[in-house]
């Protein structure tokens, strides 16, 4: 899996980003010595760099320029600086993207994935799946395989099943599921959620597995 270098001097943020990246099966390297970010880069040769602007010793712009002298590795800036000037400067120094603090980790992961895909022509490991309790969710073509049957899922069904399986064993409230179904054009209401859950259940039951998704009255849904 791709190796990502996190150049960030705030320990907590660095740790949390690295933990999250590891959850997504990335290899991570955290920088601790800010005198030799360049040397670390040469030694580790990561596929992508997350770079803060405000760093001890030299700032992020400096390292970005330094790295660009020798490499075309994708670089994403992560900073609390958010003026247009900062962003333009970052881009001119050769950065590929700019994320301002505070950020949603999901957004960062999405950007990393997109950038990796573009830079290395990843055919996003076509066997990417979530497996739980005999059901396999195929992430790249949003279908599920269960009891030797493969069934296509609608966008909403896929989103629901994905978040439920990823957090199996935990009750997910309706609010959280509605967040997962968020649509940019119109509000997805409670009824839509109920309808989609029911359709999903029916699709799973048709293959002979009952009770894959349980209802917790007043709390939400759970994939045990």
Partner 1 sequence: MNHLKTLLGFLKDRWLLLAAWLILFVLTVLVFWLIPHSPLDWGTVGYLFLMQCVLLVFFLAVSFLAKRRFWQKLTPRSGENLLQNYLQGARSVEEERIERYINQLISEHQELMQQVVGNQEEQKEYIDSWVHEIKVPLAASRLLLHAVEFDIPDDKFILLENELNRIDAYVEQVLYVSRLDSFSKDYLVQEVSIKSVIQPVLRNQANYFIQKNLHYKVVGDDQPILTDEKWLSFIFSQLVSNAVKYTPDNGQLTIQIDKDPQGTYLRLIDTGIGIPPEDLRRIFDKGFTGENGRKTDTHSTGLGLYLAKNLAKELGIELTAASTVGKGTTMTLFFPLLSYYEEIR
Binding mask 154-193 for partner 1 (x = CB under 8 A): -------------x--xxxx-xx-xx--x-xxxx-xx---
Q: Which of 10, 42, 128, 140 binds partner 1 (CB under 8 A)?
A: 10
Q: Which of 32, 83, 121, 127 binds partner 1 (CB under 8 A)?
A: 83
Confirm or reject binding of residue 132 to partner 1 (CB under 8 A).
no
Quote the CA–CA distance of 139 and 114 in Å, as a whole number.
15
Going by C-alpha positions, the residue among 90, 101, 44 that lies closest to residue 63 is 90
Structure tokens given for 22: 């590891």
**DSSP letter string, 47-83:** SEEEEESS-SSS-HHHHHHHHHHH----EEEEES---
Q: Which stretch binds partner 1 (CB under 8 A): 101-109, 115-123, 142-150, 207-215?
A: 101-109
> Cα 173 from chain centroid?
21
Tell me whether residue 102 or residue 211 sits nearer to partner 1 (CB atom). Answer: 102
**DSSP letter string, 22-40:** HHTT-EEEE---TT-HHHH
As measured in angstroms, the least distance from the Cβ of 143 to partner 1 is 25
Subset of 38-77 contacting partner 1 (CB under 8 A): 54
As measured in angstroms, the least distance from the Cβ of 45 to partner 1 is 27
Which residues, 6+ apart, have CB-to-CB distance to 145 below 8 Å?
135, 136, 138, 151
How many residues form the binding site for partner 1 (CB under 8 A)? 38
Quote the radius of gyration of the chain (alpha carbons, Å): 21
Residue ranges in contact with partner 1 by CB under 8 A: 10, 12-13, 16-17, 19-20, 54, 80-85, 88, 101-105, 167, 170-173, 175-176, 178-179, 182, 184-187, 189-190, 219-220
């Amino acid at each position: 899996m791709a190796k990502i270098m996190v150049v960030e001097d705030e320990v907590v943020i660095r740790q949390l980003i690295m933990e999250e990246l590891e959850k997504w099966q990335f290899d991570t390297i955290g920088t601790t010595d800010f005198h030799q970010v360049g040397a670390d880069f040469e030694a580790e040769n990561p596929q992508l760099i997350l770079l803060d602007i405000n760093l001890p010793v030299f700032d992020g712009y400096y390292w970005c320029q330094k790295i660009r002298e020798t490499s075309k590795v994708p670089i994403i800036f992560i900073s609390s600086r958010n003026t247009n000037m900062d962003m333009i400067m970052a881009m001119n120094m050769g950065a590929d993207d700019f994320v301002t603090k505070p950020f949603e980790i999901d957004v960062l992961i999405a950007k990393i994935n997109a950038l990796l895909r573009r830079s290395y022509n990843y055919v996003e490991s076509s066997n990417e799946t979530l497996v739980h309790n005999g059901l396999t969710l195929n992430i790249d073509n949003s279908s599920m395989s269960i009891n030797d049957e493969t069934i296509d899922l609608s966008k909403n069904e896929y989103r629901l099943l994905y978040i439920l399986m990823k957090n199996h064993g935990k009750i997910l409230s309706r609010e959280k599921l509605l967040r997962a179904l968020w649509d940019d054009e119109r509000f997805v209401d409670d009824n839509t959620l109920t309808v989609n859950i029911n359709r999903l259940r029916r699709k799973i039951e048709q293959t002979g597995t009952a009770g894959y998704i349980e209802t917790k009255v007043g709390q939400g849904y759970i994939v045990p």
